[in-house]
């Protein structure tokens, strides 16, 4: 009985073949595609989806049909990786059994299911499901093969169809209305647009925010050589009241302790990583969501961590001690610590799913660079979840000064425990032991004016958390959505700032068809796709419903087409403005050469030929500042989220 094992990628195929063969597999090639053989088994890897979904060729030209026509055009699926398809067909001819061993999630199920028609009709097809590419998991998965879950695959296929139809029709509408064609087209999507609306509307809140002044009073006390502050318990909105209170306490030499409490508090470790919390923590360490997920996928393929796409924060029965033993080669001191402070039961979060466990290490290796940092984050989080609670000592006191209350709070770590392997920020405040009724000498009094602050801009991490709350996208797609917004120059910076084009597109859609920018519709369709996976809704029902929603949106969009186009054109003109020409005084604008190279040129060309080169990668912006030395525009770029500013004139010293 000859078997063909089909994996999602070549790297997974190589590792799975190595595990199943005990290291004896030999490599071959078919149509340039590597595969591995041992005994009567052949293992081959795909390159993700080898079939591409698109509209028929006659709809490829944007001007040849109206965008709304695409809503009811039936997309077609064609083989995109023909050499892989040919290799599959050739390898399958000699096999009677096929095992699909793609990633176990919706997308992986679809990747496996959509190649079934390339196999001989009489071949037996089974599914191997695993959460880590380790010897125990792979061996067990291939002993207990199951059926392909066609409902799960159809759920992923529904997302493919819906996102193509929504994305293509709306993108064409916006781009045609604003005359932004070719490489300058404007991307719009079912999940992308509500996500961008979150960022734009947050920026509006910041711009429209009016700071309100308030005053804070604090007094510094002293005991046993230790100084510590007491805060007036409320922000004072009235300046006169603040002055009055300050004058009242200014002359006092001491305060009286009226209440005092001291107790120990248990501080539990953070729960295990699901995809959202992992990406949030990676973002806090300077990684973009796309970069963090890419590295995590590579660690998974190399058998170092479990599958990184999961909604689960509750461990199943795992060989925890065996995993710790593996980690000893990289973390000898930390593992010894964890064994000395093992908790009875690992920490759990609130989200449970049965597809994959939380993200955790399954192997160990000494890594370098970004891979080492991401692996370290995952390994330390895992060790923390197995460790005893930290113990914190909290102190609270009310100290009266001239009859006015001031609150004293102290916090110190008595037992670090899990914090020794997974450090997190905690501001300790030392306060001596106090007694009710005792007098505390005053060493300083403060009256500080402050103002209320606008809401914070989203970071990639906080945006992914908000997307999950609102049902925007999935654990597998949220980082891709953010990456697309960055690549289309809709947003920039580590603190995500929308560009003028982003404002124009969202404002135009909110006026023209607000349903496209609200999370409700997207979340509803996500729920409907879940029902396909559960078997309670059909692919056809959900696809038809999405088409009807989009049709209603287009009825409104068409009525506002010219206004939408004009608004976006004006915003793009503002975004492409780079100040005034220091040679003739006309406007400097962003241009592209015949070869597609971008540069800044004078709008008075050919009378004025003044121009400046630009970097060809990353986003480029003008914030209104011109070089004080030569008058050229100061160009702002963002590299890995960091803002950099320089004179556009390369000859300016």
pLDDT at 30: 94
Is residue 198 domain-shared with residue 218, that is, in the same domain?
no
Alpha helices in 29-149 (DSSP H): 82-93, 106-113, 135-143
- pLDDT given at position 653: 61
Out of 568, 603, 627, a domain closes at: 568
Residues of the chain predicted below pLDDT 50: none
Q: What is the dihedral of CA 440, 442, 443, 445, to 10 degrees?
A: 140
Q: Are residues 334 and 368 in the same domain?
A: yes
* 16 lies in the same domain as 141: yes
Clarify whether residues 245 and 334 are in a common domain. no
**What does the alpha-carbon distance between residue 254 and residue 438 come to, in Å, rounded to a whole number?**
10
Residue 67 lies in a domain: no
Decide if 587 is inside a domain.
yes
Q: Is 55 contained in some domain? A: no
| Start-to-end Cα distance in the chain | 74
The tokens describing 182, both together, are 């070719």
**164, 166, 172, 177: CA torsion to nearest 10:** -170
Q: Is 458 annotated in the active site?
A: no
Which residue is listed with tokens 């930390």? 334
Among 568, 597, 625, identify where a domain stops. Answer: 568
Residue 62 in any domain: the answer is: no
Do both 547 and 597 map to the same domain?
A: no
374 and 406 co-located in one domain = no
Indicate if 252 and 400 belong to the same structural domain.
Answer: yes
Which of 18, 161, 260, 307 is catalytic? The answer is: 307
Structure tokens at 7: 């994996």
Q: Are residues 324 and 242 in the same domain?
A: no
Please give the residue range of the domain that contains residue 173. 156-207+458-568
CB 231 within 8 A of CB 446: no
54 within a domain of the structure (yes/no): no
Query: Could you say which of 428, 451, 474 is where a domain stops?
Result: 451
Is 394 found in the same domain as 378? no
248 part of a folded domain? yes
Which CATH number does the domain housing residue 425 bear?
A: 2.70.20.10
Domain at 16, CATH number: 3.40.50.140
CA distance 533 to 151: 5
Q: Is residue 513 part of a domain?
A: yes
* CA–CA dist 127, 102 (Å, integer): 9
Shared-domain flag, residues 28 and 140:
yes
Regarding whether 100 and 143 lie in a shared domain, the answer is: yes
- On whether residue 52 sits in a domain, the answer given is no
Q: Are residues 238 and 355 in the same domain?
A: no
Q: CA 580 to CA 479: how far, in whole Å?
A: 38
List strands edge to edge, sheet with 642-647: 620-626, 633-639, 642-647
Domain count, the chain: 5
Give the largest CA-CA distance in the chain: 96
Q: Is the dihedral of CA 549, 554, 559, 561 positive or negative?
A: positive
CA 524 to CA 530: how far, in whole Å? Answer: 10
Residues 15, 135: Cα–Cα separation, whole Å:
9
Across the chain, how many H-helices and E-strands are there? 18, 23
Say which DSSP state 59 is in: G
Side-chain half-sphere of 31: how many Cα atoms within 13 Å?
A: 14
pLDDT of residue 524: 93
Output the six-digit token pair for 480: 């891709």
> What is the per-residue pLDDT across 309-326, written as a single tens digit (0 to 9) for each?
999 999 999 999 999 999
Which residue, 623, 134, 85, 580, is CA-closest to 357? 134
């Amino acid at each position: 009985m000859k078997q063909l094992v089909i994996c999602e990628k070549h790297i997974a195929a190589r590792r799975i073949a190595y595990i199943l063969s005990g290291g004896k597999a030999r490599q071959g090639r078919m149509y340039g595609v590597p595969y591995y053989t041992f005994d009567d088994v052949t293992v081959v890897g795909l390159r993700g989806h080898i079939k591409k979904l698109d509209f028929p060729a006659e709809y490829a030209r944007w001007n040849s049909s109206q965008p709304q026509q695409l809503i009811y055009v039936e997309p077609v699926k064609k083989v995109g990786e023909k050499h892989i398809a040919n290799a599959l067909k050739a390898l399958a001819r000699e096999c009677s059994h096929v095992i699909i061993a793609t990633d176990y999630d919706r997308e992986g199920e679809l990747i496996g299911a959509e190649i079934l028609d390339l196999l001989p009709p009489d071949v037996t097809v089974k599914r191997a499901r695993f959460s880590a590419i380790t010897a125990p998991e792979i061996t067990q998965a291939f002993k207990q093969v199951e059926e392909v879950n066609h409902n799960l695959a159809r759920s992923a296929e529904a997302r493919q169809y819906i996102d193509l139809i929504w994305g293509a029709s709306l993108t064409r509408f916006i781009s045609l209305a604003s005359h932004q064609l070719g490489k300058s087209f404007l991307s719009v999507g079912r999940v992308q647009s509500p996500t961008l609306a979150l960022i734009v509307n947050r920026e509006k809140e910041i711009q429209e925010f009016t700071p309100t002044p308030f005053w804070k009073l604090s007094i510094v006390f002293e005991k046993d050589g230790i100084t510590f502050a007491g805060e007036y318990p409320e922000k004072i909105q009235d300046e006169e009241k603040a002055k009055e209170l300050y004058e009242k306490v200014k002359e006092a030499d001491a305060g009286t302790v009226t209440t005092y409490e001291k107790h120990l508090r248990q501080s539990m470790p953070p729960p295990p990583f699901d995809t959202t919390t992992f990406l949030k923590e990676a973002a806090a360490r300077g990684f973009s969501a796309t970069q963090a997920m890419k590295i995590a996928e590579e660690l998974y393929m190399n058998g170092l961590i479990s599958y990184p796409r999961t909604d689960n924060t509750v461990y199943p029965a795992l060989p925890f001690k065996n995993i710790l033993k593996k980690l000893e080669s990289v973390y000898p001191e930390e593992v010894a610590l964890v064994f000395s402070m093992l908790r009875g039961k690992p920490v759990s979060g609130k989200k449970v799913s049965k597809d994959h466990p939380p993200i955790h290490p399954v192997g160990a290796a000494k890594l370098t660079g970004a891979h080492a940092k991401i692996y370290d984050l995952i390994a330390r989080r895992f060790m923390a979840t197995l460790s005893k609670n930290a113990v914190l000592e909290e102190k609270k006191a009310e100290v009266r000064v001239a009859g006015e209350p001031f609150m004293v709070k102290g916090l110190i770590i008595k037992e670090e425990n899990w914090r020794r392997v997974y450090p997190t920020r905690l501001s300790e405040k030392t306060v001596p032991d106090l007694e009710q009724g005792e007098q505390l000498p005053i060493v300083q009094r403060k009256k500080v004016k402050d103002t209320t602050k606008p809401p914070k801009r989203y970071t990639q991490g906080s945006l992914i958390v908000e997307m999950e709350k609102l049902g925007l996208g999935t654990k597998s797609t949220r980082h891709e959505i953010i990456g697309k917004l960055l690549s289309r120059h809709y947003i920039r910076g580590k603190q995500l700032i929308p560009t003028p084009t982003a404002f124009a597109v969202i404002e135009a859609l909110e006026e023209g068809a607000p349903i496209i920018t609200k999370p409700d519709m997207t979340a509803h369709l996500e729920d409907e796709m879940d029902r396909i996976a559960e078997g309670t809704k059909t692919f056809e029902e959900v696809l038809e419903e999405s088409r009807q929603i989009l049709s209603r949106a287009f009825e409104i969009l068409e009525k506002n087409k010219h206004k939408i186009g004009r608004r976006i054109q004006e915003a793009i003109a503002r975004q492409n403005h780079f100040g005034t020409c220091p040679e003739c005084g006309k406007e400097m604008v962003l241009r592209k050469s015949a070869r597609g190279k971008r540069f800044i040129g004078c709008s008075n060309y050919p009378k004025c030929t003044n121009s400046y080169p630009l970097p060809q990668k990353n986003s480029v912006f003008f914030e209104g500042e011109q070089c004080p030395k030569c008058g050229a525009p100061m160009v702002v770029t963002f590299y890995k989220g960091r803002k950099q500013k320089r004179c556009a004139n390369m000859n300016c010293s």
